[in-house]
Structure 1
Amino acid sequence: MGGTDSTLQNSEANYFGYRILNVAPSSPSSSSPVLCTYFSIITSIHTPSRPLSEFTDVIRECASLQKEVKLEIFNLKSRRRDYITVLPKPSPSYLGLLGLTLRPTSYYDDLPNCLRILLSTNDFLKEGEWILGTEDRNVDGVKGFEEVCEGVDEVGLYVYNGPLDCVRYVLFPTLKPLGLEVGEGYLHSLPEEYRGTNGKSEMRREGRKGIVAVEGGGGEEEQVGEMSAKELVKAVGKEVEVKNEETKGDHQPRVELTAGVEATTKVDPPPQVEAPPQVEAPPQFSE
Protein backbone atom coordinates (compact mmCIF):
# COMPACT_ATOMS: atom_id res chain seq x y z
CA MET A 1 0.00 0.00 0.00
CA GLY A 2 2.76 2.40 0.91
CA GLY A 3 4.51 1.87 -2.40
CA THR A 4 1.29 2.47 -4.33
CA ASP A 5 0.54 5.71 -2.48
CA SER A 6 4.09 6.94 -3.04
CA THR A 7 3.88 6.18 -6.75
CA LEU A 8 0.58 8.05 -7.00
CA GLN A 9 1.99 11.10 -5.20
CA ASN A 10 5.04 11.14 -7.49
CA SER A 11 2.76 10.83 -10.52
CA GLU A 12 0.62 13.75 -9.38
CA ALA A 13 3.73 15.83 -8.69
CA ASN A 14 4.65 15.50 -12.37
CA TYR A 15 1.38 17.19 -13.38
CA PHE A 16 2.31 20.73 -12.39
CA GLY A 17 1.81 23.81 -14.49
CA TYR A 18 0.34 27.30 -14.74
CA ARG A 19 -3.36 27.42 -15.51
CA ILE A 20 -4.37 30.21 -17.89
CA LEU A 21 -7.21 32.17 -16.29
CA ASN A 22 -7.38 35.07 -18.73
CA VAL A 23 -5.86 36.25 -22.00
CA ALA A 24 -5.81 40.03 -22.25
CA PRO A 25 -7.05 41.50 -25.54
CA SER A 26 -4.37 42.99 -27.83
CA SER A 27 -1.63 41.32 -25.77
CA PRO A 28 1.31 39.23 -27.07
CA SER A 29 -0.64 36.02 -26.34
CA SER A 30 -4.03 37.08 -27.70
CA SER A 31 -3.31 35.94 -31.26
CA SER A 32 -2.69 32.30 -30.28
CA PRO A 33 -5.55 30.07 -31.49
CA VAL A 34 -4.82 27.19 -29.11
CA LEU A 35 -5.34 28.99 -25.79
CA CYS A 36 -8.57 28.48 -23.88
CA THR A 37 -9.08 29.85 -20.39
CA TYR A 38 -9.13 27.29 -17.59
CA PHE A 39 -8.54 24.34 -19.95
CA SER A 40 -5.08 25.51 -21.13
CA ILE A 41 -2.09 24.91 -18.85
CA ILE A 42 1.53 25.91 -19.42
CA THR A 43 3.48 22.73 -18.69
CA SER A 44 7.04 23.51 -19.79
CA ILE A 45 9.40 26.08 -21.27
CA HIS A 46 10.58 24.63 -24.56
CA THR A 47 12.85 27.41 -25.84
CA PRO A 48 15.02 28.38 -24.08
CA SER A 49 15.10 25.03 -22.31
CA ARG A 50 14.64 25.95 -18.66
CA PRO A 51 12.77 24.45 -15.69
CA LEU A 52 9.21 25.64 -15.27
CA SER A 53 10.12 26.86 -11.78
CA GLU A 54 12.16 29.61 -13.52
CA PHE A 55 9.19 30.74 -15.59
CA THR A 56 9.05 34.32 -14.31
CA ASP A 57 12.80 34.85 -14.74
CA VAL A 58 12.72 33.46 -18.27
CA ILE A 59 9.88 35.77 -19.32
CA ARG A 60 11.71 38.80 -17.91
CA GLU A 61 14.95 37.89 -19.65
CA CYS A 62 13.25 37.32 -23.00
CA ALA A 63 11.41 40.62 -22.67
CA SER A 64 14.61 42.55 -21.94
CA LEU A 65 16.47 40.86 -24.82
CA GLN A 66 13.48 41.01 -27.19
CA LYS A 67 13.64 37.25 -27.68
CA GLU A 68 10.73 34.93 -28.29
CA VAL A 69 9.85 32.18 -25.84
CA LYS A 70 8.32 28.85 -26.85
CA LEU A 71 5.90 27.32 -24.35
CA GLU A 72 4.26 23.90 -24.21
CA ILE A 73 0.50 24.09 -23.64
CA PHE A 74 -1.57 21.14 -22.42
CA ASN A 75 -5.34 21.26 -22.86
CA LEU A 76 -7.34 19.43 -20.19
CA LYS A 77 -10.40 18.97 -22.39
CA SER A 78 -8.83 17.62 -25.56
CA ARG A 79 -5.74 16.13 -23.79
CA ARG A 80 -3.73 17.68 -26.60
CA ARG A 81 -0.28 19.26 -26.35
CA ASP A 82 0.54 22.29 -28.47
CA TYR A 83 3.32 24.87 -28.63
CA ILE A 84 3.01 28.62 -28.81
CA THR A 85 5.75 31.13 -29.54
CA VAL A 86 5.34 34.51 -27.88
CA LEU A 87 7.44 37.67 -27.82
CA PRO A 88 7.14 39.14 -24.31
CA LYS A 89 7.08 42.90 -24.24
CA PRO A 90 6.70 45.57 -21.57
CA SER A 91 3.14 46.79 -21.26
CA PRO A 92 0.83 48.30 -18.65
CA SER A 93 1.03 46.36 -15.40
CA TYR A 94 -2.49 45.01 -15.72
CA LEU A 95 -1.52 43.27 -18.97
CA GLY A 96 1.90 41.97 -17.97
CA LEU A 97 4.64 40.82 -20.31
CA LEU A 98 2.60 38.04 -21.91
CA GLY A 99 -0.93 39.28 -21.27
CA LEU A 100 -1.79 36.14 -19.32
CA THR A 101 -3.31 35.68 -15.88
CA LEU A 102 -1.90 32.48 -14.42
CA ARG A 103 -2.33 30.27 -11.38
CA PRO A 104 0.00 27.48 -10.22
CA THR A 105 -1.92 24.23 -10.31
CA SER A 106 -1.75 20.47 -10.26
CA TYR A 107 -3.91 19.20 -13.09
CA TYR A 108 -3.84 15.48 -12.35
CA ASP A 109 -7.32 13.98 -12.95
CA ASP A 110 -8.86 17.44 -13.01
CA LEU A 111 -12.08 17.54 -15.04
CA PRO A 112 -14.10 14.68 -13.46
CA ASN A 113 -14.76 16.95 -10.47
CA CYS A 114 -16.73 19.55 -12.46
CA LEU A 115 -20.46 20.03 -11.92
CA ARG A 116 -23.12 19.72 -14.59
CA ILE A 117 -26.04 22.14 -14.35
CA LEU A 118 -29.25 20.09 -14.53
CA LEU A 119 -31.66 22.88 -13.73
CA SER A 120 -31.20 26.63 -13.44
CA THR A 121 -33.75 29.25 -12.48
CA ASN A 122 -31.29 32.17 -12.36
CA ASP A 123 -30.13 34.52 -15.10
CA PHE A 124 -26.42 33.68 -14.87
CA LEU A 125 -26.05 29.96 -15.57
CA LYS A 126 -27.76 27.75 -18.14
CA GLU A 127 -28.95 24.17 -18.08
CA GLY A 128 -26.46 21.82 -19.72
CA GLU A 129 -23.41 23.91 -18.83
CA TRP A 130 -20.57 22.77 -16.59
CA ILE A 131 -19.12 24.65 -13.62
CA LEU A 132 -15.35 24.15 -13.79
CA GLY A 133 -13.94 26.21 -10.94
CA THR A 134 -12.87 29.65 -9.77
CA GLU A 135 -9.72 31.72 -10.00
CA ASP A 136 -8.52 30.22 -6.72
CA ARG A 137 -9.44 26.56 -6.95
CA ASN A 138 -11.25 23.79 -8.76
CA VAL A 139 -14.86 23.10 -7.84
CA ASP A 140 -14.07 19.54 -6.61
CA GLY A 141 -17.67 18.38 -6.55
CA VAL A 142 -20.67 19.63 -4.63
CA LYS A 143 -18.82 19.99 -1.34
CA GLY A 144 -16.18 22.15 -2.99
CA PHE A 145 -18.83 24.31 -4.64
CA GLU A 146 -20.55 24.76 -1.30
CA GLU A 147 -17.25 25.97 0.19
CA VAL A 148 -16.68 28.33 -2.74
CA CYS A 149 -20.07 29.99 -2.24
CA GLU A 150 -19.77 30.24 1.53
CA GLY A 151 -19.18 33.65 3.07
CA VAL A 152 -18.93 35.78 -0.08
CA ASP A 153 -21.34 38.13 -1.84
CA GLU A 154 -20.42 36.80 -5.28
CA VAL A 155 -18.05 34.28 -6.76
CA GLY A 156 -16.31 34.27 -10.12
CA LEU A 157 -17.01 30.99 -11.93
CA TYR A 158 -15.51 29.51 -15.07
CA VAL A 159 -18.37 27.86 -16.94
CA TYR A 160 -18.18 25.68 -20.06
CA ASN A 161 -20.96 25.58 -22.65
CA GLY A 162 -20.76 22.41 -24.75
CA PRO A 163 -22.81 23.35 -27.84
CA LEU A 164 -20.94 26.67 -28.11
CA ASP A 165 -17.62 25.02 -27.14
CA CYS A 166 -16.82 28.11 -25.09
CA VAL A 167 -15.57 28.90 -21.59
CA ARG A 168 -16.94 32.07 -20.06
CA TYR A 169 -16.33 33.86 -16.79
CA VAL A 170 -19.43 34.60 -14.71
CA LEU A 171 -19.72 36.76 -11.61
CA PHE A 172 -22.34 34.75 -9.75
CA PRO A 173 -24.18 36.32 -6.77
CA THR A 174 -24.52 34.02 -3.76
CA LEU A 175 -26.49 36.10 -1.25
CA LYS A 176 -29.86 34.87 -2.43
CA PRO A 177 -31.31 31.48 -3.46
CA LEU A 178 -28.89 30.07 -6.01
CA GLY A 179 -31.59 28.43 -8.11
CA LEU A 180 -29.41 25.52 -9.18
CA GLU A 181 -29.71 21.77 -9.45
CA VAL A 182 -26.38 20.16 -10.29
CA GLY A 183 -25.01 16.69 -10.87
CA GLU A 184 -21.56 15.35 -10.01
CA GLY A 185 -19.64 12.19 -10.72
CA TYR A 186 -18.40 10.38 -13.78
CA LEU A 187 -21.74 10.34 -15.62
CA HIS A 188 -21.99 14.12 -15.30
CA SER A 189 -18.44 14.88 -16.49
CA LEU A 190 -17.71 16.25 -19.96
CA PRO A 191 -18.82 13.72 -22.59
CA GLU A 192 -16.50 12.54 -25.33
CA GLU A 193 -18.38 14.49 -27.98
CA TYR A 194 -17.00 17.75 -26.52
CA ARG A 195 -13.42 16.55 -25.99
CA GLY A 196 -12.22 16.71 -29.57
CA THR A 197 -11.36 20.42 -29.50
CA ASN A 198 -9.39 22.78 -27.28
CA GLY A 199 -12.40 25.06 -26.90
CA LYS A 200 -12.46 28.82 -27.07
CA SER A 201 -12.91 31.47 -24.42
CA GLU A 202 -14.54 34.82 -23.94
CA MET A 203 -11.97 37.47 -23.14
CA ARG A 204 -12.52 39.72 -20.17
CA ARG A 205 -10.76 42.97 -19.49
CA GLU A 206 -11.15 43.44 -15.77
CA GLY A 207 -8.64 42.09 -13.27
CA ARG A 208 -9.68 40.19 -10.17
CA LYS A 209 -8.52 40.80 -6.61
CA GLY A 210 -6.73 37.98 -4.85
CA ILE A 211 -4.75 36.80 -7.85
CA VAL A 212 -0.99 37.39 -7.76
CA ALA A 213 -0.57 36.00 -11.20
CA VAL A 214 -0.08 38.45 -14.04
CA GLU A 215 3.55 39.05 -14.90
CA GLY A 216 4.06 42.63 -13.82
CA GLY A 217 4.90 45.00 -16.62
CA GLY A 218 6.46 48.42 -16.31
CA GLY A 219 8.59 48.75 -13.20
CA GLU A 220 6.51 46.44 -11.01
CA GLU A 221 7.76 43.23 -9.47
CA GLU A 222 6.75 40.15 -11.43
CA GLN A 223 5.09 37.42 -9.42
CA VAL A 224 3.29 34.22 -10.12
CA GLY A 225 1.47 32.85 -7.13
CA GLU A 226 -1.77 31.98 -5.48
CA MET A 227 -3.73 33.16 -2.47
CA SER A 228 -5.62 30.53 -0.51
CA ALA A 229 -9.39 30.55 -0.63
CA LYS A 230 -9.52 31.07 3.14
CA GLU A 231 -7.70 34.38 2.78
CA LEU A 232 -10.39 35.62 0.42
CA VAL A 233 -13.43 34.45 2.34
CA LYS A 234 -15.15 36.79 4.81
CA ALA A 235 -18.07 35.52 6.81
CA VAL A 236 -21.36 37.28 6.13
CA GLY A 237 -23.74 34.82 7.80
CA LYS A 238 -24.90 32.97 4.69
CA GLU A 239 -25.97 29.36 4.87
CA VAL A 240 -25.97 26.82 2.06
CA GLU A 241 -28.39 23.92 2.07
CA VAL A 242 -27.42 20.80 0.14
CA LYS A 243 -30.16 18.31 -0.66
CA ASN A 244 -29.15 14.95 -2.14
CA GLU A 245 -31.44 13.07 -4.47
CA GLU A 246 -30.89 10.07 -6.70
CA THR A 247 -31.29 10.71 -10.38
CA LYS A 248 -33.38 8.24 -12.30
CA GLY A 249 -31.39 5.77 -14.34
CA ASP A 250 -27.79 6.86 -13.70
CA HIS A 251 -27.92 6.73 -9.86
CA GLN A 252 -25.57 9.68 -9.69
CA PRO A 253 -26.12 12.22 -6.92
CA ARG A 254 -28.24 15.15 -7.95
CA VAL A 255 -27.87 18.13 -5.72
CA GLU A 256 -30.09 21.14 -5.24
CA LEU A 257 -28.27 24.15 -3.86
CA THR A 258 -30.03 27.03 -2.20
CA ALA A 259 -28.49 29.88 -0.26
CA GLY A 260 -30.35 31.14 2.80
CA VAL A 261 -30.33 34.82 3.71
CA GLU A 262 -32.10 36.82 6.33
CA ALA A 263 -35.59 37.73 5.20
CA THR A 264 -36.40 41.38 4.92
CA THR A 265 -39.93 42.69 4.88
CA LYS A 266 -40.68 45.59 2.63
CA VAL A 267 -43.54 47.73 3.85
CA ASP A 268 -45.22 49.82 1.20
CA PRO A 269 -46.03 53.39 2.27
CA PRO A 270 -49.72 54.07 2.85
CA PRO A 271 -51.51 55.45 -0.19
CA GLN A 272 -51.77 59.16 -0.30
CA VAL A 273 -55.37 60.38 -0.10
CA GLU A 274 -56.14 63.42 -2.11
CA ALA A 275 -57.46 66.34 -0.08
CA PRO A 276 -61.11 67.23 -0.78
CA PRO A 277 -61.58 70.22 -3.03
CA GLN A 278 -61.76 73.49 -1.21
CA VAL A 279 -65.20 75.15 -1.23
CA GLU A 280 -65.13 78.86 -1.67
CA ALA A 281 -66.76 80.82 1.15
CA PRO A 282 -69.95 82.70 0.20
CA PRO A 283 -69.39 86.36 -0.57
CA GLN A 284 -69.90 88.76 2.29
CA PHE A 285 -72.13 91.80 1.73
CA SER A 286 -71.59 95.00 3.61
CA GLU A 287 -74.44 97.15 4.54
Structure 2
Amino acid sequence: MKYNKIFGLALLAVTAAGFTACSSDDPDTGVTVITSGNTEKTPFDLWLTNNFNKPYNIDFKYRYEDIEGDFDYYLVPARYEDAVTMAHLVKYLCVETYNEVAGTDFTCRYFPKMFYTVGEWEYKNNGTFILGTAEGGRKIFLAGLNYLPDCLGDADALNYYYFKTIHHEFTHILNQTKTMPVAFQTVTYDGYVGDMWSEPPYNSGYLNNGFISAYSQHSYGEDFAEMLSIYITNPASYWNETLAKASTDAQAALNQKLDIVRDYMKSNFNIDIDELRDVLQRRQADVVAGKVDLSDVSVN
Protein backbone atom coordinates (compact mmCIF):
# COMPACT_ATOMS: atom_id res chain seq x y z
CA MET A 1 0.00 0.00 0.00
CA LYS A 2 1.15 3.54 -0.65
CA TYR A 3 0.64 4.44 3.01
CA ASN A 4 3.27 1.92 4.05
CA LYS A 5 5.63 3.06 1.31
CA ILE A 6 5.52 6.67 2.43
CA PHE A 7 5.90 5.72 6.07
CA GLY A 8 8.93 3.66 5.12
CA LEU A 9 10.43 6.64 3.35
CA ALA A 10 9.94 8.69 6.50
CA LEU A 11 11.75 6.10 8.60
CA LEU A 12 14.53 5.94 6.03
CA ALA A 13 14.94 9.70 6.24
CA VAL A 14 15.23 9.53 10.02
CA THR A 15 17.82 6.74 9.75
CA ALA A 16 19.84 8.70 7.23
CA ALA A 17 19.79 11.71 9.54
CA GLY A 18 21.20 9.53 12.30
CA PHE A 19 24.17 8.46 10.16
CA THR A 20 25.03 12.06 9.31
CA ALA A 21 24.49 13.54 12.76
CA CYS A 22 28.19 13.23 13.68
CA SER A 23 29.43 14.98 10.57
CA SER A 24 31.87 17.81 11.10
CA ASP A 25 30.08 19.93 8.52
CA ASP A 26 28.60 23.10 9.94
CA PRO A 27 24.94 23.90 9.18
CA ASP A 28 24.16 26.48 6.53
CA THR A 29 23.19 29.56 8.52
CA GLY A 30 22.47 31.59 5.39
CA VAL A 31 18.98 30.17 4.94
CA THR A 32 16.45 29.34 7.64
CA VAL A 33 13.15 27.51 7.36
CA ILE A 34 12.13 28.48 10.89
CA THR A 35 10.34 31.76 11.49
CA SER A 36 12.15 34.19 13.78
CA GLY A 37 11.80 37.85 14.55
CA ASN A 38 14.94 38.83 12.65
CA THR A 39 14.62 36.60 9.60
CA GLU A 40 16.43 38.24 6.70
CA LYS A 41 14.72 38.33 3.32
CA THR A 42 16.01 35.72 0.90
CA PRO A 43 15.81 35.91 -2.91
CA PHE A 44 12.89 33.48 -2.61
CA ASP A 45 11.06 35.89 -0.30
CA LEU A 46 11.42 38.64 -2.88
CA TRP A 47 10.27 36.29 -5.64
CA LEU A 48 7.19 35.34 -3.60
CA THR A 49 6.38 39.02 -3.07
CA ASN A 50 6.46 39.65 -6.81
CA ASN A 51 4.69 36.46 -7.91
CA PHE A 52 2.16 35.82 -5.13
CA ASN A 53 1.77 38.76 -2.74
CA LYS A 54 1.57 41.71 -5.09
CA PRO A 55 -0.50 40.27 -7.98
CA TYR A 56 -2.86 38.01 -5.99
CA ASN A 57 -2.58 38.96 -2.30
CA ILE A 58 -1.50 35.36 -1.58
CA ASP A 59 0.86 34.64 1.29
CA PHE A 60 3.00 31.58 0.57
CA LYS A 61 4.46 30.53 3.93
CA TYR A 62 7.39 28.14 3.69
CA ARG A 63 9.08 28.84 7.02
CA TYR A 64 7.88 26.71 9.91
CA GLU A 65 5.33 28.43 12.16
CA ASP A 66 3.83 26.14 14.79
CA ILE A 67 0.72 28.29 15.11
CA GLU A 68 -0.17 27.56 11.47
CA GLY A 69 -0.02 23.78 11.94
CA ASP A 70 -2.01 21.21 13.89
CA PHE A 71 -0.61 20.45 17.34
CA ASP A 72 -2.06 16.92 17.14
CA TYR A 73 0.69 15.93 14.66
CA TYR A 74 4.47 15.96 14.61
CA LEU A 75 5.45 18.33 11.80
CA VAL A 76 8.81 19.31 10.32
CA PRO A 77 9.74 22.26 8.12
CA ALA A 78 9.82 21.95 4.36
CA ARG A 79 13.30 22.11 2.88
CA TYR A 80 14.06 25.47 1.31
CA GLU A 81 14.69 24.08 -2.18
CA ASP A 82 11.51 21.99 -2.08
CA ALA A 83 9.48 25.02 -1.04
CA VAL A 84 10.90 26.91 -4.03
CA THR A 85 9.88 24.06 -6.33
CA MET A 86 6.39 23.86 -4.85
CA ALA A 87 5.83 27.60 -5.16
CA HIS A 88 6.68 27.42 -8.86
CA LEU A 89 4.36 24.44 -9.30
CA VAL A 90 1.46 26.13 -7.50
CA LYS A 91 1.95 29.19 -9.67
CA TYR A 92 2.13 27.26 -12.96
CA LEU A 93 -0.36 24.44 -12.32
CA CYS A 94 -2.92 26.24 -10.17
CA VAL A 95 -2.83 30.03 -10.21
CA GLU A 96 -1.98 30.43 -13.89
CA THR A 97 -4.27 27.57 -14.91
CA TYR A 98 -7.26 29.39 -13.43
CA ASN A 99 -6.00 32.67 -14.90
CA GLU A 100 -6.05 31.09 -18.35
CA VAL A 101 -9.49 29.52 -17.99
CA ALA A 102 -11.40 31.96 -15.78
CA GLY A 103 -9.36 35.17 -15.77
CA THR A 104 -7.23 36.88 -13.15
CA ASP A 105 -10.27 38.49 -11.52
CA PHE A 106 -11.52 35.01 -10.61
CA THR A 107 -8.12 33.99 -9.24
CA CYS A 108 -7.73 37.14 -7.19
CA ARG A 109 -11.24 36.83 -5.78
CA TYR A 110 -11.49 33.12 -5.00
CA PHE A 111 -8.06 31.52 -4.79
CA PRO A 112 -6.90 30.94 -1.19
CA LYS A 113 -4.98 33.80 0.36
CA MET A 114 -2.50 31.62 2.21
CA PHE A 115 -0.47 28.49 1.56
CA TYR A 116 1.33 26.94 4.51
CA THR A 117 3.77 24.15 3.72
CA VAL A 118 5.55 21.56 5.86
CA GLY A 119 7.95 18.77 5.03
CA GLU A 120 6.19 15.72 6.45
CA TRP A 121 2.70 14.22 6.17
CA GLU A 122 0.22 14.23 9.03
CA TYR A 123 -0.07 10.56 9.98
CA LYS A 124 -3.30 9.25 11.50
CA ASN A 125 -3.71 6.18 13.69
CA ASN A 126 -5.91 4.37 11.14
CA GLY A 127 -3.14 3.80 8.61
CA THR A 128 -3.85 6.90 6.51
CA PHE A 129 -2.19 10.29 6.37
CA ILE A 130 -3.35 13.82 5.63
CA LEU A 131 -2.03 15.40 2.43
CA GLY A 132 -3.59 18.81 2.96
CA THR A 133 -6.55 20.75 4.29
CA ALA A 134 -8.52 23.93 3.57
CA GLU A 135 -9.36 26.26 6.41
CA GLY A 136 -11.93 29.01 6.60
CA GLY A 137 -12.13 29.55 2.86
CA ARG A 138 -8.77 31.29 2.79
CA LYS A 139 -5.92 28.90 3.63
CA ILE A 140 -4.56 25.67 2.18
CA PHE A 141 -2.24 23.58 4.33
CA LEU A 142 0.04 21.42 2.18
CA ALA A 143 2.16 18.64 3.67
CA GLY A 144 4.91 16.27 2.54
CA LEU A 145 7.07 18.68 0.55
CA ASN A 146 10.24 16.78 1.41
CA TYR A 147 9.08 13.95 -0.87
CA LEU A 148 8.45 16.28 -3.81
CA PRO A 149 11.74 15.65 -5.68
CA ASP A 150 10.81 11.99 -6.17
CA CYS A 151 7.56 12.97 -7.93
CA LEU A 152 8.66 15.62 -10.40
CA GLY A 153 8.92 13.32 -13.43
CA ASP A 154 5.58 11.61 -12.79
CA ALA A 155 2.28 13.44 -13.29
CA ASP A 156 0.35 10.72 -11.47
CA ALA A 157 2.57 11.02 -8.40
CA LEU A 158 2.43 14.83 -8.44
CA ASN A 159 -1.35 14.68 -8.55
CA TYR A 160 -1.80 11.89 -6.03
CA TYR A 161 0.31 13.51 -3.33
CA TYR A 162 -0.01 17.22 -4.06
CA PHE A 163 -2.06 18.75 -6.84
CA LYS A 164 -5.25 16.75 -6.65
CA THR A 165 -5.16 17.80 -3.00
CA ILE A 166 -4.83 21.49 -3.90
CA HIS A 167 -7.65 21.36 -6.45
CA HIS A 168 -9.72 19.30 -3.99
CA GLU A 169 -9.23 21.85 -1.21
CA PHE A 170 -9.89 24.74 -3.58
CA THR A 171 -13.23 23.09 -4.42
CA HIS A 172 -14.11 23.23 -0.73
CA ILE A 173 -13.33 26.95 -0.77
CA LEU A 174 -15.57 27.46 -3.79
CA ASN A 175 -18.34 25.49 -2.02
CA GLN A 176 -18.02 27.82 0.95
CA THR A 177 -18.56 30.74 -1.42
CA LYS A 178 -21.32 29.27 -3.57
CA THR A 179 -23.47 26.60 -1.93
CA MET A 180 -23.23 23.07 -3.29
CA PRO A 181 -26.43 21.93 -5.06
CA VAL A 182 -28.74 19.90 -2.85
CA ALA A 183 -29.32 17.51 -5.75
CA PHE A 184 -25.74 16.28 -5.46
CA GLN A 185 -26.34 15.11 -1.91
CA THR A 186 -29.18 12.82 -2.95
CA VAL A 187 -27.53 10.80 -5.75
CA THR A 188 -25.70 8.35 -3.47
CA TYR A 189 -27.11 9.59 -0.16
CA ASP A 190 -27.08 6.16 1.50
CA GLY A 191 -23.43 5.41 0.63
CA TYR A 192 -21.57 7.84 2.88
CA VAL A 193 -19.68 6.11 5.70
CA GLY A 194 -17.58 8.84 7.36
CA ASP A 195 -14.15 7.77 8.63
CA MET A 196 -14.84 4.13 7.74
CA TRP A 197 -14.00 4.94 4.09
CA SER A 198 -10.47 3.54 4.51
CA GLU A 199 -11.63 0.21 5.96
CA PRO A 200 -12.86 -2.95 4.18
CA PRO A 201 -15.06 -3.27 2.23
CA TYR A 202 -15.33 0.45 1.52
CA ASN A 203 -11.67 0.89 0.56
CA SER A 204 -12.07 -1.35 -2.48
CA GLY A 205 -15.73 -1.57 -3.50
CA TYR A 206 -16.41 2.14 -3.87
CA LEU A 207 -16.63 2.30 -7.68
CA ASN A 208 -19.59 -0.05 -7.95
CA ASN A 209 -21.31 1.98 -5.24
CA GLY A 210 -21.16 5.10 -7.41
CA PHE A 211 -18.06 6.78 -5.93
CA ILE A 212 -14.99 7.91 -7.86
CA SER A 213 -12.61 7.20 -4.96
CA ALA A 214 -12.65 5.55 -1.56
CA TYR A 215 -12.43 8.95 0.15
CA SER A 216 -15.51 10.14 -1.75
CA GLN A 217 -17.54 7.94 0.57
CA HIS A 218 -16.64 10.08 3.58
CA SER A 219 -19.36 12.68 2.99
CA TYR A 220 -21.08 14.50 0.16
CA GLY A 221 -18.74 17.48 0.55
CA GLU A 222 -15.68 15.29 0.07
CA ASP A 223 -17.46 13.45 -2.73
CA PHE A 224 -18.04 16.71 -4.62
CA ALA A 225 -14.42 17.81 -4.19
CA GLU A 226 -13.11 14.41 -5.26
CA MET A 227 -15.30 14.40 -8.37
CA LEU A 228 -13.99 17.73 -9.60
CA SER A 229 -10.33 17.34 -8.59
CA ILE A 230 -9.99 13.81 -10.00
CA TYR A 231 -11.75 14.78 -13.23
CA ILE A 232 -9.49 17.73 -14.02
CA THR A 233 -6.15 16.26 -12.89
CA ASN A 234 -6.49 13.19 -15.12
CA PRO A 235 -6.77 12.89 -18.92
CA ALA A 236 -10.14 12.23 -20.55
CA SER A 237 -9.19 8.59 -21.05
CA TYR A 238 -9.00 8.09 -17.28
CA TRP A 239 -12.64 8.99 -16.73
CA ASN A 240 -13.82 6.74 -19.56
CA GLU A 241 -11.65 3.82 -18.45
CA THR A 242 -12.79 4.20 -14.84
CA LEU A 243 -16.47 4.25 -15.75
CA ALA A 244 -16.01 1.13 -17.87
CA LYS A 245 -15.04 -0.76 -14.70
CA ALA A 246 -18.26 0.18 -12.89
CA SER A 247 -21.70 -1.40 -13.01
CA THR A 248 -24.41 0.19 -15.13
CA ASP A 249 -26.13 1.72 -12.09
CA ALA A 250 -22.83 3.05 -10.77
CA GLN A 251 -22.00 4.60 -14.13
CA ALA A 252 -25.33 6.40 -14.12
CA ALA A 253 -24.72 7.74 -10.60
CA LEU A 254 -21.18 8.92 -11.42
CA ASN A 255 -22.32 10.66 -14.61
CA GLN A 256 -25.21 12.27 -12.77
CA LYS A 257 -22.87 13.65 -10.12
CA LEU A 258 -20.41 14.85 -12.76
CA ASP A 259 -23.19 16.68 -14.59
CA ILE A 260 -24.12 18.47 -11.35
CA VAL A 261 -20.48 19.44 -10.76
CA ARG A 262 -20.16 20.63 -14.36
CA ASP A 263 -23.30 22.78 -14.12
CA TYR A 264 -22.23 24.17 -10.73
CA MET A 265 -18.88 25.37 -12.06
CA LYS A 266 -20.38 26.81 -15.23
CA SER A 267 -23.37 28.57 -13.68
CA ASN A 268 -21.52 29.98 -10.67
CA PHE A 269 -18.04 30.71 -12.04
CA ASN A 270 -18.40 30.43 -15.84
CA ILE A 271 -15.79 27.66 -15.87
CA ASP A 272 -16.03 24.81 -18.37
CA ILE A 273 -14.46 21.88 -16.49
CA ASP A 274 -13.47 20.19 -19.76
CA GLU A 275 -11.51 23.28 -20.78
CA LEU A 276 -10.05 23.44 -17.27
CA ARG A 277 -8.95 19.82 -17.58
CA ASP A 278 -7.39 20.39 -21.01
CA VAL A 279 -5.39 23.39 -19.84
CA LEU A 280 -4.23 21.60 -16.71
CA GLN A 281 -3.20 18.50 -18.67
CA ARG A 282 -1.12 20.64 -21.03
CA ARG A 283 0.58 22.40 -18.15
CA GLN A 284 1.23 19.14 -16.30
CA ALA A 285 2.88 17.75 -19.43
CA ASP A 286 5.14 20.82 -19.56
CA VAL A 287 6.27 20.22 -15.98
CA VAL A 288 6.94 16.51 -16.44
CA ALA A 289 8.87 17.20 -19.67
CA GLY A 290 11.12 19.65 -17.80
CA LYS A 291 9.96 22.66 -19.80
CA VAL A 292 9.24 24.76 -16.69
CA ASP A 293 12.07 26.26 -14.63
CA LEU A 294 11.21 25.35 -11.03
CA SER A 295 14.24 26.88 -9.35
CA ASP A 296 14.63 30.43 -10.67
CA VAL A 297 13.91 33.02 -7.98
CA SER A 298 15.31 36.03 -9.79
CA VAL A 299 13.16 39.16 -9.86
CA ASN A 300 13.18 41.32 -12.95
Structure 1 and Structure 2 fold alike (TM over 0.5): no
User: Quick check: which one's helix share is greater?
Assistant: 2
User: Quick check: which one's strand share is greater?
Assistant: 1
Task: Give the TM-score, by structure 2 length.
Answer: 0.22
Task: Give the TM-score, by structure 1 length.
Answer: 0.23
